[in-house]
Amino acid sequence: MANLNAMSDDQACSSEDREPDACISDFMLIDDQERSTELVELVYLLKLGVKTNLRWLAREEPEIDAARKTSARLCEYVDRLQSLIATGNPDRLERL
């Protein structure tokens, strides 16, 4: 999720009243906000996928192939969620 409206590093730090570290902290704040948004989206998609799988399997004739596809997608979401969590704390990935 790249910020397409962001200025280049040279433009962002060219102002004399800004310290170079300010650019880095501003970037990290945007990055944290994007990561937080993506985390919320992934949790929502996981919840939606689990409910969808329950509906596929609860039918009179369960839709096994559809549930299998949904499960594969859920695994991708979990992998992405693990990498986002590990980005904030690399030691956490081992515990997941």
63 vs 58: CA distance, rounded Å: 9
Look up residue 28 and give its amino acid: M
pLDDT of res. 89: 60
pLDDT of res. 5: 42
pTM score? 0.58
Look up residue 93 and give its amino acid: L
81 vs 38: CA distance, rounded Å: 9
Residue with tokens 């693990």: 82
Average pLDDT, consecutive stretches of 10 residues, N- to C-terminus, the chain (96 residues)? 42 45 46 83 95 96 96 95 79 52
| Phi, psi angle pair for 91, to nearest 5° | -70, -20
